[in-house]
Amino acid sequence: MTNNKILLIEDDRAVAESLTDGLQRENYDVTWVSTGNDGLNHMQTHSAHLIILDVRLPDGSGFDWCRRIREAGIHQPIIMLTVRSDEVDKILGLEMGADDYVTKPYSFRELLSRIKAQFRRAYGEFSQQDSNRMYVGDVVIDRLRGVVLRDNTEIYLTPIEFRLFVYLAQHPNQALSRAQIMDTVWGHDATAESDRAINSHIRRLREKVEIDPANPQLIQTVLGVGYRLIP
């Protein structure tokens, strides 16, 4: 039984049924809802590992729902679907918090490859192990819910910070180069990032998860290489 849960937010029944059938054959657990509001409610009550979000929904723009999902503190990857190919729309979707963008018509194999890429970036290689919760010192990473907790109190992380923290936690005690971090966390957008940007994200992450950010114990700098997480 797979643990990879996908929430599909799509108002076109024919498209939704076709995608659901295809993804279930690939061993994904798919939940379909037809409105942005139902999608947000599902993520807040049941959650999923990844969201496929259509831009045109009966209760508002998918761009707006993407923003509202992120504002609700939900960090799981979002792939947006749209019939429009305008670069402005793609940029808008990414700025609202989407992780990827697929333009209709698309092949199922293309969408599937993008889904797998997002799972790898957010959760590491596919595994049948119970990987929903990770422990870093006194910090708990709940990857299914997309939250980080200390003493049962949520530590708010941006989607990038969450994926960065998960990636570091997946490789405890291992020195990871900035290039490795960029390639995994940012994927196809890695070229837009620089060493300075990586350092800035690490600094903000330390401010949130370290007891004493000025003397970090969890995320350590490896001179000349990058960073290492000490669990």
Res 1 pLDDT > 60 = no
How much is the pLDDT for 210? 94
Q: Which residues contact 140 (CB under 8 A, 6 or more apart)?
A: 133, 134, 148, 149, 150
Other CB atoms closer than 10 Å to residue 65's CB: what's the count?
A: 25
Res 81 pLDDT > 80 = yes
CA dihedral (43, 44, 49, 51) positive or negative: positive
Higher pLDDT, 96 or 49: 49
- Among 17-31, 51-65, 128-142, name the one with the lowest average pLDDT: 128-142
How much is the pLDDT for 65? 95
Q: What is the mean pLDDT of residues 159-163?
A: 89
Res 90 pLDDT > 80 = no
Higher pLDDT, 213 or 145: 213
Percent of the chain topping pLDDT 70: 88
Residue 38's pLDDT band (cuts 50, 70, 90): very high
Domains and CATH numbers, the chain: 5-123 (3.40.50.2300), 133-229 (1.10.10.10)
Residue 129's pLDDT band (cuts 50, 70, 90): very low
CA-CA distances (angstroms) from residue 191 to 19, 53, 161, 179, 198?
Answer: 31, 25, 18, 10, 12
Res 94 pLDDT > 90 = no
How much is the pLDDT for 3? 59
pLDDT digits (tens, 9 = 90+) for 174-204: 899 988 888 888 765 545 557 788 889 999 9
Distance CA 100, CA 78 (A): 7
> Which phi and psi (to 5°) does residue 210 adopt?
-85, 145
Distance CA 163, CA 160 (A): 5
Other CB atoms closer than 10 Å to residue 64's CB: what's the count?
A: 14
Distance CA 96, CA 99 (A): 9
Q: Return the axis-axis angle of helices 13-25 and 108-123, rounded to nearest 10°.
A: 60
Res 115 pLDDT > 80 = yes
Which conformational region is residue 141 in: left (phi greater than 0), alpha (psi within -120 to 50 degrees), or beta?
beta
How much is the pLDDT for 119? 85
